[in-house]
Amino acid sequence: MKNIIEVINLTTSYKDRIIQDNISFNVKYSEIFGILGGSGSGKSTLLSTMLYLKEPLSGSIKIFDSDIWKINHNKRSIILRKCGVVFQFGALYSSLSVLDNVGIMLEEYSSYPKKIIDEISQYFINIVGLPNYVKDMYPHELSGGMKKRVGLARALAFNPKILFLDEPTSGLDPQSAENFDKLILKLRDHFKLSVVMVTHDLDSIKDITDRFILLGNSKILFSGSLEEFKYSQANKIDNLLKSKRGERLWKEG
Ligand SMILES: Nc1ncnc2c1ncn2[C@@H]1O[C@H](COP(=O)(O)OP(=O)(O)OP(=O)(O)O)[C@@H](O)[C@H]1O
Ligand SMILES: [Mg+2]
């Protein structure tokens, strides 16, 4: 199948500390692609580089065949608007209601009247499985799981083709995490999304990703499907895949 994202010989760093050392991988259309690795292995850094938030030292990132770090501003804006993001730490605006949080991208970048934006926002609040009354609540009144769903509704409201999720299930109890995973699967099918999901939740990898990469020591230690991983020689953490939710935190190395 065709690639929607191509990462080619990518090196990233903070000052002279290398985080990714010449890594390459592809994400295919309509797949759920996992980026797995221990805390500090560079997952969020990689996502930031893919979203034009952190400049790479060298290499390229192609989304829809365009190198996002090389193309002009206008072309890049068009591509980035097809990318929905749910950040690791929620990033909801505390002074805005849920409805306004979900509609904020449309407020900023569309010319729809407020009434239409509210209707679209309400639709996506329902799509992610939240009851109607949540629309008038504020972020501090929400549970962790609800916040994640609001973040997801906001990302979906702009009609993305690719959804980037940074640790979508971290901090959730096992049941909520599983429910969230199922929701991602449904949304992928319903909206024909490609999903790039950063996680250190091995159960998410097992349950919903089609393929994944495992980051460690600034390199890709493994790339492929779970089946391939099970049979690969390089899997010194194989036994960890047998772990249940709740025992999912593990260290790099
Ligand atoms: N803005 C920054 N300036 C300097 N170093 C940074 C910065 N952001 C991250 N780092 C370092 O880069 C490394 C990778 O961090 P990153 O946040 O990408 O890891 P991660 O895999 O997302 O970890 P976690 O699972 O804890 O979210 C870490 O050692 C971190 O200290
Ligand atoms: Mg991170």
The per-residue pLDDT for range 124-158, each reduced to its tens digit, is: 999 999 999 999 999 999 988 899 999 999 999 98
- CATH number of the domain bearing residue 208: 3.40.50.300
Q: Is position 152 within any domain?
A: no
More confident: 61 or 108? 61
Q: Is position 40 within any domain?
A: yes
Residue 248 has pLDDT above 50, yes or no: no
**What is the mean pLDDT of the segment spanning 160-173?**
91
β strands within the chain, DSSP E: 3-14, 17-28, 32-37, 58-63, 66-67, 83-86, 162-166, 194-199, 211-216, 219-224
C-beta of 43 in contact with ligand 1 (< 6 A): yes
C-beta of 19 in contact with ligand 1 (< 6 A): yes
| Ligand 1 centroid to residue 166 C-alpha, Å | 13
Q: Is position 36 within any domain?
A: yes
- The span from the CA of 220 to the CA of 46, in Å, is 12
**What is the mean pLDDT of the segment spanning 97-109?**
93
Give the closest residue (by CA) to ligand 1 atom 3. 14
Q: Are 194 and 31 in contact (CB under 8 A)?
A: yes
Q: What percentage of the chain carries pLDDT values higher than 70?
A: 91
**Residues, beta carbon < 5 Å, ion ligand 2:** 43-44
Domain that holds residue 15: 1-82+201-236
CA 176 to chain centre: 17
The candidate with the shortest Cα–Cα distance to 171, out of 209, 207, 142, is 142
Q: End-to-end alpha-carbon separation of the chain, Å?
A: 33
- The tally of CA atoms less than 13 A away on the side-chain side of residue 58 is 5
Q: Is position 122 within any domain?
A: no
Per-residue pLDDT, 204:
82
Give the closest residue (by CA) to ligand 1 atom 18. 42
Residue 107 has pLDDT above 60, yes or no: yes
pTM metric for this prediction: 0.90
C-beta of 40 in contact with ligand 1 (< 6 A): yes
Q: Is position 120 within any domain?
A: no
Identify the H or E element spanning 146.
Answer: helix 144-157
**Which of 16, 45, 55, 251 gets mutated to test ligand 1 (max ligand atoms within 8 A of its CB)?**
45
Task: Share the mean pLDDT of the chain.
Answer: 89
pLDDT digits (tens, 9 = 90+) for 174-218: 888 899 999 999 999 999 999 999 988 888 888 899 999 999 999
- The span from the CA of 72 to the CA of 67, in Å, is 10
Residue 251 has pLDDT above 60, yes or no: no
| Ligand 1 centroid to residue 247 C-alpha, Å | 22
Q: Is position 150 within any domain?
A: no
The total of structural domains in the chain comes to: 1
Give the closest residue (by CA) to ligand 1 atom 14. 42
Give the closest residue (by CA) to ligand 1 atom 5. 14
Strands 211-216 and 219-224: what pairing?
Answer: antiparallel
Q: Are 161 and 155 in contact (CB under 8 A)?
A: no
β-bridge mates for residue 216, sequence order: 219
- The span from the CA of 73 to the CA of 173, in Å, is 41
Per-residue pLDDT, 246:
37
- The span from the CA of 127 to the CA of 148, in Å, is 13
Q: Which ligand is nearest to the CA of 36?
A: 1
- The span from the CA of 214 to the CA of 36, in Å, is 5
Strand order, beta sheet including 3-14: 17-28, 3-14, 58-63, 66-67
| Ligand 1 centroid to residue 195 C-alpha, Å | 22
